[in-house]
Chain A
Amino acid sequence: MSHSAAPIEMGQGPGAARHLRQAATFVAPLVVLFLCWPLLVSAFGVDARVFPGVKAVFAAAVESVSDGSLLAHVAASLGRVAAGTLLAVVVAVPLGVAMGVNAGVSAFLTPLFRFFSVLAGIAWIPIATLWFGYGFGAITFVIFNAVFFIVAYNTLLGVTAIPMRLRHAAASLGASRLAMVTEVLLPGALPNIVTGIRTGLGFAWRGLIAAEMIATNVGLGYMLFVARDFYRTEVIVLGMIVIGILWLLIDRLILAPLERATIERWGVVQRA
């Protein structure tokens, strides 16, 4: 679909400048922290086995990039998150829609889904390793649960928040049950679904790192955990930096804009 620029949209120039300013405000404190780090380490004479210097971390970065190990860990972690999330969304969205159309079912399931949403990933790790052993199954299960309950709950919420008059309007225009789902319920719930995915992925990412520390032999969590055994604080800190930056990139560059776009486009103002 192509649209002529709507009058309420802002021009390219001011929007881009605003984004740049926002990005700068976000990055500046991180840069300050980064600059203070070597000063603090040298001022207090911190031992490398307690906390590494910048040079050591940089060297560890160069080494793990050139021998391909960092890429392997990152790829393993991202792959697991993608697989678990995809699976969870594919199951949660249809389920959430199905539950949302029935008031009784949704009233019954809403508290359950809220309860399981609170468990958010990490709490599932012990039982996951009991059920699936150490490996792909347990980790995927943890990610799946982190995303599944939150997305199902949000989908349910989104569907029940669609004004009844919109469903009535579609029905009186001849919408079948399937069309009601694809033309009204799914698009109507989409902003909530995207919010659910964003929140769920946040928990999944944390849960993943934790699960990788005990249940596997590759991945960013595993990288941290093994480095600890060898007092390689520079590798630990490198891993922490990568974990944080990867999530910020995923969240800021993909999820947040996606969420904003659906909410703006879908005109939530209309619901008031």
Chain B
Amino acid sequence: MKSLTLRNLHKTYFDPAVGTRVTAIQDVSLEIGPGEFVAVVGPAGCGKSTILNMVAGFLPATRGDIIVGDRPVKGPGRDRGVVFQNFALLPWKTVIDNVGFGLKMRGIAKPERDRIAMEFLELAGLSHAAERYPNELSGGMQQRAGVVRALANEPDVLLMDEPFASVDAQTRMTLQEELMRIWGERRHTVLFITHDVGEAVFLADRVVVLSKGHVLREIPITIPRPRG
């Protein structure tokens, strides 16, 4: 696992409604150690997704540095696995082909990537749904697939943008527990975005409170795991 460093990050958007540039992220610095689980919390519109999208390489930073291990981020890459709020599974691919997609991009042959993808599907309790299409699955199952799709590609850092916000409360608790189980075994470096303080405290080693584009405070969570 590698560390993730954000240094003096700024982001301004051009807002066509106002006709001026608006500041979304203001001087955010953050150091996430290898294998550390950091949650960023804050109300809607405070800039959480903007940070994650810059780290993922989907959005250029206006100013500042993003470094994974010792390499600066330039665009999207497989060193950073992303889990999306709305799953973002490819609807024309079966679950197993979605999970094996990163492996396919690396040129791994079909039998081998099916074998690996199947291991990850078992990890998520999804092996029975391997040949189904995403729109045939519940939201919870789709997000399980979304999580293991990112994991199967062996990223150094896992980026999750409110991954459990679009499933029901019951499923959310199960998914949080499953995530803890998997993370406990593999210890990825995780940047986890949520607006739910309870979720942040349950999951993270450290909670970063974001407000209007800047870091308000950082709170280490020392409650021993498993937490309940």
Partners in one complex: yes
- Residues of B contacting A175 with CB < 8 Å? 101, 105
Q: Does B194 sit at the interface, judged by CB under 8 A?
A: no
Task: Output the nearest chain B residue to A188 by Cβ-Cβ distance.
Answer: B92
The 8 Å CB contact of B88, one of A6, A168, A188, A190, is: A168
For the complex, give the distance between the alpha carbons of A3 and B149 in Å: 21
A170 nearest CB across to chain B (Å): 7
Give the residues from 106 to 139 in chain B that come closer than 8 angstroms, CB to CB, to chain A: 106, 131-136
- Residues of A contacting B84 with CB < 8 Å? 165, 168-169
User: When each residue 107-150 of chain A gets 1 if its CB lies under 8 Å from chain B and 0 otherwise, what string results?
Assistant: 00000000000000000000000000000000000000000000
A-B pairs with CB below 8 Å: how many?
81
Q: Which has the most chain B C-beta neighbours within 10 Å: A171, A174, A184?
A: A174
The answer to whether A173 touches B101, judged by C-beta atoms less than 8 angstroms apart, is: yes
Q: Does B77 sit at the interface, judged by CB under 8 A?
A: yes
Q: Does A270 sit at the interface, judged by CB under 8 A?
A: yes
- Residues of A contacting B90 with CB < 8 Å? 166, 169-170, 183-184, 187
The answer to whether B101 touches A6, judged by C-beta atoms less than 8 angstroms apart, is: no
The answer to whether A270 touches B134, judged by C-beta atoms less than 8 angstroms apart, is: yes
Of the candidate stretches A36-44, A63-71, A197-205, A261-269, the one touching chain B is A261-269
B-side interface mostly = loop
The answer to whether A266 touches B92, judged by C-beta atoms less than 8 angstroms apart, is: yes
A221 nearest CB across to chain B (Å): 39
- Residues of B contacting A171 with CB < 8 Å? 57-58, 75-76
The answer to whether A267 touches B91, judged by C-beta atoms less than 8 angstroms apart, is: yes
- Residues of A contacting B201 with CB < 8 Å? none
For the complex, give the distance between the alpha carbons of A265 and B134 in Å: 11
Task: Output the nearest chain A residue to B153 by Cβ-Cβ distance.
Answer: A173
A267 nearest CB across to chain B (Å): 4
Query: Contacts A168-B88, A173-B101, A174-B102 known; A3 to B131 CB distance under 8 Å?
Result: yes
The answer to whether A176 touches B105, judged by C-beta atoms less than 8 angstroms apart, is: yes
- Residues of B contacting A6 with CB < 8 Å? 132-133, 136
User: When each residue 172-195 of chain A gets 1 if its CB lies under 8 Å from chain B and 0 otherwise, what string results?
Assistant: 111110010001100110100000
User: When each residue 149-175 of chain A gets 1 if its CB lies under 8 Å from chain B and 0 otherwise, what string results?
Assistant: 000000000000001011011111111
Task: Output the nearest chain B residue to A2 by Cβ-Cβ distance.
Answer: B131
A184 nearest CB across to chain B (Å): 7
Q: Does B81 sit at the interface, judged by CB under 8 A?
A: yes
- Residues of B contacting A165 with CB < 8 Å? 84, 86, 88
For the complex, give the distance between the alpha carbons of A166 and B106 in Å: 18
Q: Does A12 sit at the interface, judged by CB under 8 A?
A: no
For the complex, give the distance between the alpha carbons of A264 and B150 in Å: 27
- Residues of B contacting A188 with CB < 8 Å? 92
A81 nearest CB across to chain B (Å): 29
* A-B contacts besides A169-B88, A170-B90, A266-B92, 18 pairs, CB < 8 Å: A6-B133, A165-B86, A165-B88, A166-B90, A168-B58, A168-B88, A171-B57, A172-B56, A173-B78, A173-B105, A173-B149, A174-B77, A179-B105, A183-B90, A187-B90, A190-B92, A267-B91, A270-B134
Which residues of A are at the interface with B, using a C-beta cutoff of 8 A?
3-4, 6-8, 163, 165-166, 168-176, 179, 183-184, 187-188, 190, 265-271
